[in-house]
Amino acid sequence: MKRFAVLQLSGCAGCEVSLLNADAWVDQFKLTYMPLVTSVYDVPDVDILLISGGVRTDEDLYKLRRAVKHAKQVVAVGTCAISGGVANLGDRDEVRELFLAQAQRHHVPRLLPKTHPVDAYVDIDLYLPGCPPTPELFMAVLEEDSVFKPSKIVCQECGRKKIRDMRPKHLLGFQQGNVLPDICLVNQGYLCVGTSTRGGCRAPCPRAGHPCVGCRGPSDVFIEKESAAWFTSIKRVFNSMTDIPDEELDAALRSPQLALFLFQFSDYAGGERAIRPKEKVL
Ligand code: SF4
Ligand code: SF4
C-alpha cells in the first residue's frame, strides 16, 4: 500500500479538510503523518509528501528541509504552499511589529522576514493549486494511474453562457444583486476571472453564482508569463463583453479582495526563483 504524509506549514488547514473529504483514498493509501489527525511527531519515509502552507517561520523551514528527505515524490498543495496565501497577508509591517512586541512569545517560532512559497527552498515534483484543491484533485495526485486532465480554463467547466446583447456599464462588486442562472457572470457585471484561471476544480464558485477569484492560478497560457500579460488579457475579455471603464476594472483587479489569489498569477513566471514549468502543474 502506498504511503503518504501531509506536512502542514503556515496555512489554514483548508487543504487538509478537503483531502479528508476525498475519502476514496482511505482503502488505497496509508496516511502516515498529518498533524491535524495523526499523533505521529515526525514525517516517516513515504512515497508521496504533500506540503500545504507557506514558509513563514524558522520552524516551517526546518520542518520542510527535514521532511523532503523522507519522500520519493514532493507535491506543493494549495495557495499557501504555492504562493504564501493567508500567511502572506501577515507580511504587512504593522502586523509583524505587533506580534513581535509580545514579550511572552518564548515558545512561538521566529517569524522570517517574509513568507515564501515552498519551492524557494526545496525542489517540487508537482504543483497542486487551489484554495483548497478539491477532493477530486487530491485523488488525481494520489492515484498512480490517474487519467485526470484539468480543463484549460474554469469557463469550460462552468456551464454559464456568454451572450452578446448584455453589456453592463459598471461592475457590481462580488456578491451584490440577484445572480441570473445560466448567464456568464461577466455579462452580469461581476468580476469573474474564470477566463484565465486553470480548470480542474469543476467551477463550484461560478456555478453557484459566485465569481471565480482565480484560486487555481494561471491557465497554461499564462504560466511562465509576467502578471502584465494576465492583466492585459483579462481586461481584453471585459472590454469585449462589457462597457465597464478601464479605470474601474484596474481598481477592482488590484483590490485586496483578489490579491490573495492573484499573487499566484505571477509567481509561476520565475523572478527570484526558477520558472515553474506547466508540465509540473495539475
Ligand atoms: S467568466 Fe466566469 S461565469 Fe463566465 S463562463 Fe467563465 S467562469 Fe463562468
Ligand atoms: S471556480 Fe475559481 S475560485 Fe472557485 S474553486 Fe475554481 S478556481 Fe477556485
pTM: 0.85
Residue 275 confidence (pLDDT): 85
Question: How does pLDDT run across 100-151, given as a tens digit for each residue?
Answer: 666 555 566 777 888 889 999 999 999 999 999 999 999 999 998 888 999 9
**Residue 51, H or E segment:** strand 46-52
Residue 108 confidence (pLDDT): 64
Question: How does pLDDT run across 222-254, given as a tens digit for each residue?
Answer: 888 888 888 899 999 999 999 999 999 988 888
Domains of the chain: 2-148 (3.40.50.700), 155-267 (no CATH)
Ligand 1 pocket by Cβ (under 6 Å): 154-155, 158, 160, 184-186, 192, 194-195, 203, 206, 212
- Exposure b/e, 119-131, CB count within 10 A at least 16 = b: bbebebebbbbbb
Residue 261 confidence (pLDDT): 76
Choose which residue among 134, 152, 154, 158 to substitute to test ligand 2 binding: the one with the highest number of ligand atoms within 8 A of its C-beta: 154
Residue 110 confidence (pLDDT): 76
Task: State the average pLDDT for the chain.
Answer: 88
Instruction: Compute, in angstroms, the gap from residue 111 CA to the centroid of ligand 2.
Output: 30
Residue 258 confidence (pLDDT): 75
Q: What percent of the chain has pLDDT over 90?
A: 60
Distance CA 179, CA 209 (A): 6
